[in-house]
Amino acid sequence: MKRKFTTKGETIRGKKISYDTSGYPRITINKVSTPIHLILWKETHGEIPNGCDIHHKDFNKKNYQIENLDLLTHQQHTRIHAGWIRDVNGIWIAKPCSKCNQILPLSEFWVRKKGDNSLLYSRCKRCHNDKEKMSKYYRTDKYREKNRIRLRKERAKIKLEKNENRKRN
Ligand SMILES: [Zn+2]
Ligand SMILES: [Zn+2]
- Ligand 1 midpoint to CA 55 (Å): 4
The ligand that comes nearest to the alpha carbon of residue 127 is 2
β-partners of residue 56 are: 69
Q: Are 54 and 70 spatial neighbours (Cβ–Cβ below 8 Å)?
A: yes
CA 148, 153, 156, 161 torsion: positive or negative? negative
Strand-pair category, 6-12 with 15-19: antiparallel
Q: Give the 3-state secondary structure of residue 3.
A: coil
Domains of the chain by residue range? 1-81, 84-133, 139-169
pLDDT in tens, 77-113: 999 999 999 999 989 999 999 999 999 999 999 988 7
- Ligand 2 midpoint to CA 108 (Å): 9
For residue 3, pLDDT beyond 60 = no
Say if pTM beats, i.e. exceeds, 0.85.
no
The CATH fold assigned to 1-81 is Homing Intron 3 (I-Ppo) Encoded Endonuclease; Chain A (3.90.75)
pLDDT in tens, 109-159: 998 876 665 689 999 999 998 888 888 888 888 888 988 998 899 888 888
Sequential DSSP letters for 107-149: GGS-BSSTT-GGGB-SS-HHHHHHHHHHHHHHTSHHHHHHHHH
- Ligand 2 midpoint to CA 138 (Å): 21
- Ligand 2 midpoint to CA 98 (Å): 7
- Ligand 1 midpoint to CA 39 (Å): 16
